[in-house]
């Protein structure tokens, strides 16, 4: 029986770090063990003590880093409560045979999860190393009062009514959207989400990080979603802005935009990992204007993400099965787009804008590769294209496809661009003119307009922004 299933429990934790396992760093937790910064393996010691979260959190609560916190089944933060997570904290979702374990932050409530580069916050599976799998638990859901183009009574996908009724909660707790463009659902910084997701039916799934009506006052920086059972990041409306995102080996889309999302994202990388199972159309970017339920309440609110310095990768050579219908970037259902200074490679079709909305849209100053077709639709501006048999033979990054889980060696991907023997075509060509605009999600003044390169990372000699906090070995990280 799930603990306290019918109680609304108010936690007021003021516990501070007291005793952690083995040797600890100055902050009370072990820093990343880096004999080489390129390994990107998390070998930190974690606490022996564990504590299970209640299924309903209705008062301000702090998760301290002196223990491992367990999410056991559907878990909701409501009543305008703030859930704060200390840097270096591990939260493990319990693998369930019936209802998934997930964390949902309802409208008006907040999740404040600020990790650091040396001590990121980790949401992961409760299974042991080597036994973790996509969909072990459900993931993190943030809901806000930001604007969308559907009714404010729309419920977030991936939910079943019993999740709420079993806990005595109203089904309205999973509604999202409102009229507050700068709504604040909290902050996620230096956070990893691993082995999450849940597919109830086609088009009704939980993702690694789901954002519904999340406003532009929400902070989203340095977040990695890996080995998910559906999308990595999905934005349903709202205007949240973000920087430094990583999607690694997720089952379906890496970045999914829906229901009138209008926000800005800079510096993001994604890659598909061979020997994992993928959906019927595993895209890098998928953008839709209005999907189910198709009830338009704001016909002038088009989905129109503003994206710069993305590196969207499939596989280095043509993939089998579902990769035959994959797109690196797919803008459809009349979705708008502003994409610049990016790299798209390793999918069947590179960038497909044939059914997008070209009005006030722009796609340019990018490298685009596809095994069958680099582009579909018009217009594109100042792009370089290829249909080469080797994706990296065209884009020439350092080692972006060193990711093969079929091998027993630990992957060490490197998404920076090559400078020897000759410069990568990504080394130059960036241009911010066509995306330096103001949109409903807030000004683009926060964009870094200094890079001359295209893609998420600079030259091979520069510091990686994914160093320390990200990991490309989530399956084998000990977490002990």
Q: How confident is the model over 269-306, as pLDDT tens digits? A: 999 988 888 898 899 999 998 765 555 677 778 899 99
Contact 362, 379 (CB under 8 A): no
| More confident call, 444 vs 281 | 281
Q: Which helix (H) or strand (E) holds 199?
A: strand 198-201
Complete DSSP assignment for 315-381: -SSPPPGGGGG-EEEEE-TT---EEES-EEEEEEEEEE-TTS--TT-EEES-EEEEEEEEEESS--B
The DSSP bridge pattern shows strands 204-206 and 198-201 to be: antiparallel
- Distance CA(206)–CA(200), nearest Å, equals 8
| The Cα angle at residue 148 between residues 147 and 153, in degrees rounded to 5 | 100
Specify the pTM: 0.92
In this predicted model, which residue has the larger pLDDT, 35 or 399? 399
Q: What is the mean pLDDT of the chain?
A: 88
Q: Which residues contact 192 (CB under 8 A, 6 or more apart)?
A: 120, 121, 122, 123, 124, 223, 224, 225, 226, 469, 470, 471, 474
Across 27-36, 361-370, 419-428, 442-451, least confident range: 27-36
> Length of the chain in residues, anyone?
480
- Most distant CA pair in the chain, distance: 65
Q: CA–CA separation, 30 vs 44, rounded Å?
A: 5
Taking only the tens place, the pLDDT of each residue in 154-182 is 999 999 999 999 999 999 999 999 999 99
The span from the CA of 412 to the CA of 470, in Å, is 11
**What gap in Å lies between CA 324 and CA 348, rounded to an integer?**
6
Strands 414-417 and 397-399: antiparallel
- Find all residues with CB under 8 Å of 118, minimum gap 6, and list them: 25, 31, 32, 468, 469
> Alpha helices, DSSP H only, in 1-62?
none
Round to the nearest angstrom and report the end-to-end CA distance of the chain. Answer: 27
What pLDDT shows up at residue 3? 42
Residue 241 and residue 174 in contact, taking contact as beta carbons nearer than 8 Å: no
Q: What is the mean pLDDT of residues 85-105?
A: 95
The pair of structure tokens assigned to 410 is 């630990």
DSSP letter, residue 446 = G
Instruction: Give me 357's structure tokens.
Output: 């909305």
When pLDDT is averaged across residues 80-93 and rounded to a whole number, the result is: 98
Q: Average pLDDT of 61-76?
A: 98
Confidence check: pLDDT of 398 > 70 = yes
pLDDT at 447: 79
* Percent of the chain as helix, strand, coil, to the nearest 5: 5, 35, 60
What are the pLDDT digits (tens) for 3-29? 444 344 444 443 333 333 333 333 445
Q: Tokens 């889309």 label which residue?
A: 253
Residues 6+ apart with CB under 8 A from 352: 327, 329, 330, 331, 332, 375, 376, 377
CB neighbourhood size of 246 (10 A): 26
């Amino acid at each position: 029986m799930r603990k306290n299933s019918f109680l609304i429990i108010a936690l007021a934790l003021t516990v501070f770090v007291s005793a952690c396992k083995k040797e600890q760093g100055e902050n009370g937790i072990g820093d990343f063990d880096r004999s080489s910064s390129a390994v990107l393996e998390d070998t930190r010691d974690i606490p022996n003590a564990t504590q299970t979260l209640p299924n309903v959190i209705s008062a301000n609560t702090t998760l301290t880093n002196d223990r491992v916190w367990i999410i056991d089944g559907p878990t909701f933060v409501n009543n305008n409560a703030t859930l704060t997570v200390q840097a270096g904290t591990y939260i493990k979702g319990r693998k369930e045979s019936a209802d998934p374990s997930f964390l949902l932050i309802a409208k008006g409530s907040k999740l404040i999860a600020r990790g650091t580069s040396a001590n990121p916050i980790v949401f992961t599976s409760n299974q042991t190393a080597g036994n973790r799998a996509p969909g072990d638990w459900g993931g993190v859901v943030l809901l806000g009062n930001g604007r969308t183009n559907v009714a404010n009574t729309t419920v977030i996908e991936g939910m079943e009514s019993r999740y709420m009724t079993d806990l005595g909660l109203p089904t309205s707790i999973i509604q999202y959207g409102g009229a507050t463009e700068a709504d604040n659902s909290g902050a996620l910084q230096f956070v990893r989400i691993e082995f999450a997701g849940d597919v109830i039916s086609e088009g009704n799934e939980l993702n690694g990080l789901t954002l519904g009506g999340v406003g532009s006052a929400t902070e989203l920086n340095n977040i990695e979603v890996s080995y998910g059972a559906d999308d990595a990041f999905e934005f349903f409306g709202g205007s949240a802005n973000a920087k430094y995102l990583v999607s690694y080996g997720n089952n379906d889309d890496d970045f999914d935009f829906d229901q009138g999302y209008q926000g800005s994202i800079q510096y993001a990388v994604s890659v598909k990992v061979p020997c994992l199972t993928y959906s019927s159309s595993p895209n890098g970017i998928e953008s839709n204007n209005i999907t189910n339920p198709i009830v338009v309440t704001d016909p002038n609110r088009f989905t129109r993400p503003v994206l710069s310095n993305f590196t969207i990768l499939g596989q280095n050579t043509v993939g089998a099965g579902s990769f035959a219908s994959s797109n690196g970037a797919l803008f459809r259902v009349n979705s708008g787009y502003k994409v610049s200074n990016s790299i798209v490679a390793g999918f069947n079709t590179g960038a497909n804008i044939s059914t997008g909305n070209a009005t006030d849209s722009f796609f340019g100053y990018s490298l685009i590769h596809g095994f069958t077709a680099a582009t579909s639709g018009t217009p594109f501006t100042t792009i370089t294209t290829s249909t080469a048999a080797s994706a990296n033979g065209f884009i020439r990054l350092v080692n972006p496809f060193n990711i093969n889980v079929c091998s027993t060696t630990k992957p060490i991907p490197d998404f920076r661009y090559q400078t020897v023997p000759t410069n990568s075509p990504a080394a130059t060509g960036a241009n911010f003119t066509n995306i330096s605009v103001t949109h409903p999600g807030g000004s683009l003044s926060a964009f870094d307009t200094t890079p001359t390169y295209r893609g998420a990372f600079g030259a091979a000699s520069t510091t990686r922004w994914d160093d320390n906090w990200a990991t490309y070995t989530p399956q084998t990280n000990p977490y002990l």
